[in-house]
Structure formats: C-alpha cells, structure tokens
Structure 1
Amino acid sequence: MPTPADYDTPATGATLWRGDRPVSDQGENVCVIGAGASGLCAVKNLREQGFGVDCYERETGVGGAWNWRHDRSPVYATTHLVSSKPFSQYPDFPMPDSWPDYPHHGQVLAYLERYADHFELRRHIWFGTEVVRVEPADGGRWDVTTRSAGGSGAERTQRYAAVVVANGHNWSPRMPEYEGLSDFTGQVIHASAYHDATQLRGRRVLVVGGGNTGCDIAVEAAQQAVRCWHSTRRGYWYPPKFLFGRPLDQIHARAVALRLPLRLRQWIFHLVLRLTVGDLTRFGLPVPDHRMYETHPIVNSQLVYYAGHGALIPVPDVARFRRHSVELVDGREIDPDLVVLATGYQPRFEFLDGQLLDAGADGRPQLYLHAFARNRPTLAVVGLLEADSGIFPLVHWQSVAIARWLRTRLADPAAAAVLQARIDSEAGASWHEADVADSPRHWFEVSHLTYLRALQSTLDSLEVPAR
C-alpha cells in the first residue's frame, strides 16, 4: 500500500495558533475531503486552475461508494449503473467502447482508478486520513483538523484558503421508526448491510423501499428467497432499462434534444409504458400517484416480470412490527424472518457545523446549485446530486465551476461579487423541470439538462484570466 511519502506532502507554512493549538498555514492551497468520484474530479479541476490541493481520504484507496472494499460502500455484488455509459462518464475521460451499456460496479471502480492514474491525482491524496473538524478562520479561510483513520494518532490542524467537501451522501443509513420494531424477533438490516444473494437464500424476506436499490434487492429476493414481499408507500413507474433496443436514458435524451415540452414527453412515455409494460394493477402493483419525471427515476426490467410470476408480492407500507410478524397499513399481517430496509441515506457532514451549509433541523443543506454555500464563498460541496441521468458528467462541470469560482475570487473580486449575490439569493432553489415529490429522497434531485444550463450560466459569468 502506498505511504504518505509517495505523495506530495502539505507544504509546511508559518505556524499560527488557534487557542492552544498550532496551525500550519497552507497558503492558497485548497482542501478536498474525500477521494470518490466527486473528490477525484474536484482535485483534477482545481489542479487545472493552478491550485495546490490536499485531498484527505479516510479509506486506503480511491473510489468512495464505488469501492466495495470500503466500510461505507453501499455497493452489493450485482450492482450496475442505472444510467447508460454515455451519460455516466466524465466528458474528458470516456469509458472503453467495449464495455456494456450499463457497466458493473467493478468496472466503475476500475474506471475511477484509471482516471486517478491518468491525471496523476494520487500524489495529492492522503489515504487513511480522516477529517475531524473543519472550522472557519479569519479572512474566509478554514482550519482543517485531521488524524489517522480509526481515531488513532495525534491530530494535526492546517489552514487552507478553501474547502471542497466531497464525502458523499449515500453512506449514512436513514433508519425509519416503526412501532414494535425493537421487539421483532426476525432479522432487520438496512440495505447498506446487504452484500449478496446468499443473505436471502431460503429466507422469508420483506424489502421495504421503492427506490432502485429496493427494487434490485426485491428482484434478487424473488429469485433466491422462499417468499418475497416488496413494500412501498406509493405507486411508481417501472420503465425497463432498454426501450426500442436502446438504453432508456438515451431515448429520454433524444426527446429532450427535440425540445418536446415536459407534458408532451410525459404523455408519450406514459403511452409507451402502457403498451410495453401494461397495467401495473394487473400485477398487484399500486397505481402511480404522480407523472413520470416527478420522482427519481426507477429503471428496472425485472420487477414487473417477477411480480407477474408470483415470485414477488407487492404490499403497501408497514404499519407496525409485532413480535413474530409485520402488520401492513391495509391490516394484513405477514411473517418475514428477514426485513431489508432500503430506505435511503441521510446526508452527514460530521466534521462541519451544519449551520455553515444553512442546514435545518432535518440536515438538508441549502446551497446554490447544490454546491455553493451562502455567505461562505470559500466553502463548497461537490456531488450532492441525484439526477435523471448519470452523475459523473454533472460532477465534472460542477467542480469546474467551483474551481473557476475560486480562481475568479482571487483575480477579479468585482466579478466574484456579482456571482456571490446570486449565490446568496438563490441558495436552495430547485433545478428540476418538474414538481418533484416532497421527500428526503428528492432533496438533491435535478433534471440534468436544466442543471447543466444553470452551470453553464454560472461558468459564463466567471472570467478565467491567463495564468
């Protein structure tokens, strides 16, 4: 395993003091927290704007959520992308032509490792190092305290000109509260603890949650478990991964490129799904209570198939747990011995006071473009997105905007002040063309084209002087 000696070490600047703690001044260097898909992209684009960068990663390798070896990774054995290859790759680093339309998680990790090597990013990353605290300092700067991952070793504090947070938002499980859950004698796990189908084999399984992960696990349970129930609070659309022989997101992108109005696109897709998938109620699935694109898209070719074969039993929301059974809101009782809660994740910034991101009691940050903090021009978040396409292209342009913003602040304060006014006034605005459902699952939902246009407008306002 590489050691810190193999990487550029943070420059040893003047020693400052924060109370009784020594602080090493890192000048105009920027701190990036996390070396997953978003953090790597941030390091690369900050370096291209001429910034010195120190990236801290608590794990021993790159990849973040896509590195299944990491403790916090939500990846399970059969995880594949739900966005197709053209919408899942960085614009300046294409995936291999030989790869399938929907790459496996192992291929995604290999892709991120190649990206890090191609742009020589590892030399800027401190692996096995966790960030303990990020605190504001004088002049818009930040004191970042780190230590060896696992809590051992002495803490070290360094002062940076800016901080870019890229610690991900799919690692802290959102655990629902149910009456009687503590007395239930069966096994209850969050989807983050699901790794492969051996955990389902021979069990009576209840999967709670209608997102892509919940649907994937329910399909695997339909194949492996003695009995499988799938509980959702509402009805959803279940478009297949391929439509007319092409990946679904490519069909959607073609409709968007033709500038078809949202309502017309919704009508067309509803018609196509009725013709291809059919009436969902025939399979015991509830009628969707929304139009297409008004919730985060679920892309699954098999859930309706297994429901139609009786191997997957759709059921409504859980009302309460009993000692040996689960009561549903319609009064039925079922008797699973394994419950998988695919109930999503809570964004967490353990090292940062939530008020710095305008986070309310629910933990939801209020940011411009889900990236720029109000009244904190040297603090940004990258990758805090859910989209109707792949995330990597959005993260690329998001981190380009952050890097150019930090450069413009140094080179053209007047231009930066104009954008800062927009950041302060529009933080928390929606970047989705439809009215999405009001739920934590959709806090960071964006329409990729709407969002890219907003990013382009931001980039157009940033003059990047020659260095």
Structure 2
Amino acid sequence: MNLVPKIPTLEGLDQFHGQVLHSQAFKDPSKFCGKDVLIVGLSNSAADTATQLKGHARNIYVSHRQGALVLPRYSDGRPIDHSLTMRLMMIQGFLNEYFPLVAENAFNKFAKSLQDKNFNIRPEWNLSPAPSLKQSVPIISDELVSGLESGKIRSVPALRRVAGEMTVELTDGTIIAIDCIIWCTGYKGDYGILDGDFDPTRNTSPAWSAAPGSNEKPLPRLYQNLFSLQEPLSLVFLGAAAFPSPAFQLYDLATMAVAQVWRGNSSLPSQEEMERAVDTHHDWVCSLAQRATVYPGIVKPGPWMTWVNDAAGTGVNEMLGYGIAGWTFWWREKGFCEKLMDGICSPHIYRLFDGKRKKWDGAKEAILKANNAIC
C-alpha cells in the first residue's frame, strides 16, 4: 500500500542534467563517490541516506522547510523505546483524552529533553523548532548530528527550483551546484489493486486536499483506519493507522481485533455511526494538517488503543486498568504487575490474559526474560 514514491513538483526539473531518484531506489552509496548530492526532506529516510553517503559523496546537503527532533537509538545504555512503558502510555492516553494540550506539551517536552541530553543541536542547522510529535515522528539516528557537526552533512533551506543544468536555487536565494537530487519525501498510499468502488481514497475530503500539511497524499475513509466502509466484514487495510509507537506491534493488535470482529466475538457500530466517526476523525486530521505535514494514517493513541484492545479481547484494559479486575490482579501479582507497568512494553503483554482470545502460556516467562535481559 505504501509503495508509491511521493515526488514533489519542482520548477525547472526537466532542465536538470544530473541524476534524480527517490530514496526507494537508493541502494549503494559507493555509486555517489565524489558527487555533490542534495537530499530533499528531513525524515528518517533522509537521515539514513545522508549518513550512508558520508565517506562517499563529496558534499551532502539536506534541504528542508521544517525542523525535527533527533533522538539516539540508545540513551544511558538502553534503547530509547524502553522509555515507553505501559504506565506512561496509559497516562499519555488519559491526558490526550481529557487534557490534550497538557499531553501534547508534556510529550514534546519529554522528547526534547531526551534529544538535548544526548545531542547539542546548533541553531544554524534549523532543526528547531521541531513540529509537535502529535503530527510528526522524530528522527532516530546516532550519526546525523555528528555528521552536521563535522560539516560532512550540511543543513540547507528548502528547495525552490532548478536554476541550471547542474544547479538549484534554495528558498533563501542561494544557488548550489549538485550532481544528484535524492527525494526523501515519503510515499503515497496506493489502493490501485482494488476495484475503484472499494478504493477508500476515492472521496478524499476537499478540506484535506486544501490543507498545507496534506502533502498531496490521499486520506482514506476507514473506520478506525482499518475497516472498509463498503465491506467492513470482508475488507480491511493494515498500515493505514499510525502514531508514535512500534509499527508492527500496532499491526499485530489490529489483526487480533479484525479476527475477533470477523468471528463475531466483537461488533462494529452501525453504518451511520461508522460514517460519522470517520467524519469526526477527518476533521481532526485536517485541523492538524493546517499546522504541519501530517501522515494520513494518524490516529489518537489513547482512544485507538482502548478500542483495539477491547475489540481484540486482550484483557489488557481490564487487567491493567483501575477496576476490580485490575486491582485484584495487582494484589495477587504485585511484583509482576510492576514489571508490566514500568518495565519493557513487550508485545507479549497482549497475549498474557485470557479474553476473547486464548492467552499464550509462555507470555509471562517471555516478559520476565525481556525485562531481566536489561537489568
């Protein structure tokens, strides 16, 4: 689905005599030895492409119009995703639901403190201010900042136009000579494998198309960013729901939810309610796209996780919640419960409890093993 490269429209591109490619086609950095390369975009793909070109390309320019947070893969000897505990996600979900501005500011402040603890971000790189993590994802890279510090990678303003056969003009008027343009501009959702009647993007909202942050990408009409509104009991789409969290864990939970719906153990709302829910969700997404570039699949983390756990029947909402079942589980398994809430947020948690699906008997052992491995 997310396989079609997003190629921006650039004035004068047909006049450029150098090489032009999307990051999807970037495979071998040695093929750019001695070349001046312009990378367009500021994303994880852009950071990976730029750092791989070090030692090969003569000059590496990263052209971007907005900033970004840069986080290391490890902090204090631990992977940074180990900071995302079940308790933190539950608190974040609660705040997002009832105090959204507080939640947004707290999450952004936490991420920035992690960045500043590990890197000294210089003003001339124009990485700050970074867009809110409510509608963007941070760059995860151990080498981008060191590349900028050494001058092997240069941060430059956004690309305006091709100025000559081997030159481009930036938005500040600077003209630079380059041999190659690499688009690190993401992908468009493509549903072309389907009959057009079932394409969830065929009626993309005009408000979305007009929003500055839509980036010319289609916005699918899907219930919970999963279920087709035409055939919800036989057609779903993975990869159309996202927020700052491990992607494959979300897809795993989504498949559990779909299985229980299609088995009849969980139900969907009426057609009218699903249509209304999608309309409300799209209004929210379009409002975000007025401020910054937004991934069309973005969802609200708290409500979506609550829904998917209920639909999948994982038992997590009940057993790790604050109802009778939750308090009973805590009383019987205090030490283990603390591991679940404040330790590694292992995907085994979603197979620990009996619910609409059978638990996996090895889940507890796997959770303890994962936590013991980092102690």
TM-score using structure 2 length: 0.68
The answer to whether the 8 A contact 2:218-2:296 is kept is no
210 and 203 in structure 1: CA distance in 2 versus 1, 3 angstrom threshold: same
Partners of 2:128 and 2:70 in 1: CA distance? 11
Partners of 2:196 and 2:146 in 1: CA distance? 44
The answer to whether the 8 A contact 1:373-1:427 is kept is no
Corresponding position of 2:26:
194
Shift of the alpha carbon at 1:255?
6.9
Is it true that 1:393 corresponds to 2:225 in the alignment?
no
376 and 317 in structure 1: CA distance in 2 versus 1, 3 angstrom threshold: same
Partners of 1:191 and 1:228 in 2: CA distance? 14
The answer to whether the 8 A contact 1:180-1:320 is kept is yes
Partners of 2:68 and 2:268 in 1: CA distance? 44
Total equivalences in the alignment: 290
Identity of aligned residues (%): 23
Corresponding position of 2:142:
301
Q: Per-residue displacement from partner, 1:87-108 (whole Å, max 9, x unpaired)?
A: xxxxxxxxxxxxxxxxxxxxxx
Matches within 5 A, 1:259-298: 259=91, 261=95, 262=103, 263-282=105-124, 284-298=125-139
Unpaired runs of 5+ in structure 1?
1-167
Q: Per-residue displacement from partner, 1:400-455 (whole Å, max 9, x unpaired)?
A: 222222221xxx8xx7464655433212627999x855566511134655532221
Partners of 2:313 and 2:90 in 1: CA distance? 24
407 and 255 in structure 1: CA distance in 2 versus 1, 3 angstrom threshold: closer
Matches within 5 A, 1:54-453: 168-169=1-2, 171-253=3-85, 256-257=88-89, 259=91, 261=95, 262=103, 263-282=105-124, 284-322=125-163, 323-359=165-201, 360=203, 363-377=218-232, 378-408=234-264, 416=267, 418=269, 420-427=271-278, 429=281, 437=289, 442-446=295-299, 450-453=303-306
The answer to whether the 8 A contact 2:312-2:356 is kept is no
The answer to whether the 8 A contact 2:69-2:127 is kept is no
Secondary structure (helix, strand or coil) at the match of 2:151 reads: coil
402 and 258 in structure 1: CA distance in 2 versus 1, 3 angstrom threshold: closer
Shift of the alpha carbon at 1:187?
0.6
269 and 190 in structure 1: CA distance in 2 versus 1, 3 angstrom threshold: closer
Shift of the alpha carbon at 1:254?
6.4
191 and 200 in structure 1: CA distance in 2 versus 1, 3 angstrom threshold: same
314 and 252 in structure 1: CA distance in 2 versus 1, 3 angstrom threshold: same
Partners of 2:289 and 2:40 in 1: CA distance? 18
Secondary structure (helix, strand or coil) at the match of 1:207 reads: strand
Shift of the alpha carbon at 1:298?
1.6
Q: Per-residue displacement from partner, 1:316-375 (whole Å, max 9, x unpaired)?
A: 110001222010000001111011111111111112245534413553211112111224
Unpaired runs of 5+ in structure 2?
96-102, 205-216, 315-354, 359-375
273 and 382 in structure 1: CA distance in 2 versus 1, 3 angstrom threshold: closer
The answer to whether the 8 A contact 2:257-2:313 is kept is no
401 and 292 in structure 1: CA distance in 2 versus 1, 3 angstrom threshold: closer
Letter matched to residue 455 of structure 1 = V
460 and 254 in structure 1: CA distance in 2 versus 1, 3 angstrom threshold: closer
Q: Per-residue displacement from partner, 1:153-188 (whole Å, max 9, x unpaired)?
A: xxxxxxxxxxxxxxx31x111111100001101110
Richer in strand (by share)? 1
The answer to whether the 8 A contact 2:257-2:311 is kept is yes
Larger CA deviation: 423-432 vs 222-231: 423-432
Partners of 1:279 and 1:286 in 2: CA distance? 7
The answer to whether the 8 A contact 1:370-1:384 is kept is yes
Partners of 1:419 and 1:407 in 2: CA distance? 17
The answer to whether the 8 A contact 2:5-2:188 is kept is yes
Partners of 2:302 and 2:81 in 1: CA distance? 12
Letter matched to residue 32 of structure 2 = L
TM-score using structure 1 length: 0.56
Secondary structure (helix, strand or coil) at the match of 2:70 reads: coil
Partners of 1:187 and 1:173 in 2: CA distance? 16
The answer to whether the 8 A contact 2:135-2:298 is kept is no
Partners of 1:201 and 1:447 in 2: CA distance? 44
Q: Per-residue displacement from partner, 1:45-65 (whole Å, max 9, x unpaired)?
A: xxxxxxxxxxxxxxxxxxxxx
Larger CA deviation: 220-229 vs 451-460: 451-460
Shift of the alpha carbon at 1:209?
1.1
Shift of the alpha carbon at 1:253?
3.2
Shift of the alpha carbon at 1:280?
3.1
Partners of 2:87 and 2:180 in 1: CA distance? 42
Shift of the alpha carbon at 1:219?
1.4
Partners of 2:32 and 2:303 in 1: CA distance? 40
Corresponding position of 2:100:
none
226 and 294 in structure 1: CA distance in 2 versus 1, 3 angstrom threshold: same
Shift of the alpha carbon at 1:269?
3.0
Partners of 1:447 and 1:212 in 2: CA distance? 22
Secondary structure (helix, strand or coil) at the match of 1:228 reads: strand
